[in-house]
Amino acid sequence: PIAVSRKHSIATMGADGIGPEVINAGVQVLKKLAELDGSFTLDFKNYDWSSETYRKTGKYIPDGGLEELQKHDAILFGAVGAPDVPDHISLWGLRLAICQPFQQYANVRPTKIFRGTQSPLRNAAHSDLDWVIVRENSEGEYAGQGGRSHRGQPWETATEVSIFSRHGVERIMRFAFQMAQKRPRKFLTVVTKSNAQRNGMVLWDEVAVDVAKDFPDVKWDKMLVDAMTCRMVLDPKSLDTIVATNLHADILSDLAAALAGSIGIAPTSNLDPTRKNPSMFEPIHGSAFDITGKGVANPVGTFWTAVEMLKWLSEEEAAKRMMDAVETVTERGVMTKDLGGTAGTQEVTDAVCAELEKAF
């Protein structure tokens, strides 16, 4: 046997709803892939932190939990959120409680239409859209700043303050230009709302102009976020790499996922580009309690998430093999209901494992 030179330690965390179901599917495929490949190993350690933990202990992450996570090379995350816990508590309790201290300031969301699946965009010429949305993931509208006064009174007010630091905007802009530079079209669209928001958004515009000077080979343009939604639907081919604030990119990437056919197929990478901390990889969909426990959750979003994780761990070849296997399976029509198929989570998972067997 070939000596294993590369070992990757992965923390898994399914968390809530369909999260554990899709993570289980992802781990099955990753284990099969590593076993067949033989040139690297993946060690998994599961953390069962969830809204159930919160109900029992009053917190999502136990004491010392972050230090534990810090030891891993990457985190594979499912979804957090439960019907009886307010969303802002679950989101800040687990997901953001990892993203923020680990400085995962770049959130990357690729979009493509898988072979065999259909976009709601009816024009066939649109059917191969290929975008990467780069979302600022550490500040902006989700900085958690603000407050409420006169609670419960008719004259109650609340402020939700967006924070944009030159440092924060510059590092995400630079990351986005680098991302655009690596892609064949070398084209970036910077999204803001600088007509109505005249402080932070104007800073974004200015920083874009500055950073662009260091990337003379990257073409770029800018768009207001409202006009951007129209462009994504009406002229999707005119786009490639997109950078936007925390809030704007959150919304645009849900639109992107829907245009690609289902929210069940798209991945997200929460990256610390300095690599001082582990990065976190998750499907973009939520905990989907309406289908939890039924065995029908689409695992493709998690498979693609795992592919993105492998790329981050420099396992490019394995990543490509896995992506090909997934696309061969969708092309054959083995899909869950959200994509118009009839297969269950395990059937899709088995089909991908079987494709991998053939590929080696």
Q: Which is nearer to ligand ATP, 178 or 305 (CB)?
A: 305
β-partners of residue 108 are 134, 269
Q: Which of 65, 273, 286, 344 binds ligand ATP (CB under 6 A)?
A: 286
Q: Which of 32, 109, 285, 321 binds ligand ATP (CB under 6 A)?
A: 285
Residue 45 · residue 9 · CB < 8 Å? yes
Phi first, then psi: what are they for 184, rounded to 5°?
Answer: -55, -40
- Segment lying near ligand ATP (by CB under 6 A), choices 113-121, 206-214, 296-304, 317-325: 296-304
- Segment lying near ligand ATP (by CB under 6 A), choices 211-219, 222-230, 282-290, 309-317: 282-290
Q: Which is nearer to Mg ion, 286 or 344 (CB)?
A: 286
Buried b / exposed e along 259-280 (16+ C-beta atoms within 10 A):
bbbbbbbbbbbbbbbeeebbbb
| 38 dihedral zone (left: phi>0; alpha: psi -120 to 50; beta) | left
Interacting residues of 300 by C-beta distance below 8 A, sequence separation 6+: 114, 264, 265, 326, 330, 335, 336, 339, 348
Shortest separation between residue 99's beta carbon and ligand ATP, angstroms = 15
Q: Site mask, ligand ATP, residues 84-123, x = CB under 6 A?
A: ---x------------------------------------
Q: Which of 301, 319, 350, 356 binds ligand ATP (CB under 6 A)?
A: 301
Q: Which is nearer to ligand ATP, 192 or 336 (CB)?
A: 336
What span, in angstroms and rounded, lies between the C-alpha atoms of 23 and 352? 15
Residue 240: contacted member of ligand ATP, Mg ion, none (CB under 5 to 8 Å, by partner type): none
Please give the span between the terminal C-alpha atoms of the chain, in angstroms, as a whole number: 15
Per the structure block, which two tokens stand in for 28?
A: 């099955």
What span, in angstroms and rounded, lies between the C-alpha atoms of 136 and 248? 9
Residue 285: contacted member of Mg ion, ligand ATP, none (CB under 5 to 8 Å, by partner type): ligand ATP
The site for ligand ATP, by CB under 6 A, has a size of: 18
Regarding 290 and contact with ligand ATP (CB under 6 A), the answer is yes
Regarding 37 and contact with ligand ATP (CB under 6 A), the answer is no
Write out the binding residues for ligand ATP, residues 336-355 only, by CB under 6 A: 336, 338
Which 3 state secondary structure label does DSSP give 198? coil
Shortest separation between residue 286's beta carbon and Mg ion, angstroms = 4
Query: Which residue in this structure is represented by tokens 């590593």?
Result: 34
- Segment lying near ligand ATP (by CB under 6 A), choices 4-12, 69-77, 192-200, 295-303: 295-303
List alpha helices for 199-296, DSSP H: 200-212, 225-234, 246-259
What span, in angstroms and rounded, lies between the C-alpha atoms of 61 and 85? 15
Q: Which amino acid is at 15?
A: A
Per the structure block, which two tokens stand in for 260?
A: 């690609």
Regarding 298 and contact with ligand ATP (CB under 6 A), the answer is yes
β-partners of residue 147 are 159
Residue 305: contacted member of Mg ion, ligand ATP, none (CB under 5 to 8 Å, by partner type): none
Q: Which is nearer to ligand ATP, 82 or 228 (CB)?
A: 82
Residue 298: contacted member of ligand ATP, Mg ion, none (CB under 5 to 8 Å, by partner type): ligand ATP
Residue 18 · residue 291 · CB < 8 Å? yes
Regarding 267 and contact with ligand ATP (CB under 6 A), the answer is no
Residues contributing to the site for ligand ATP (CB under 6 A): 18, 22, 79, 81, 87, 263-264, 285-288, 290-291, 297-298, 301, 336, 338
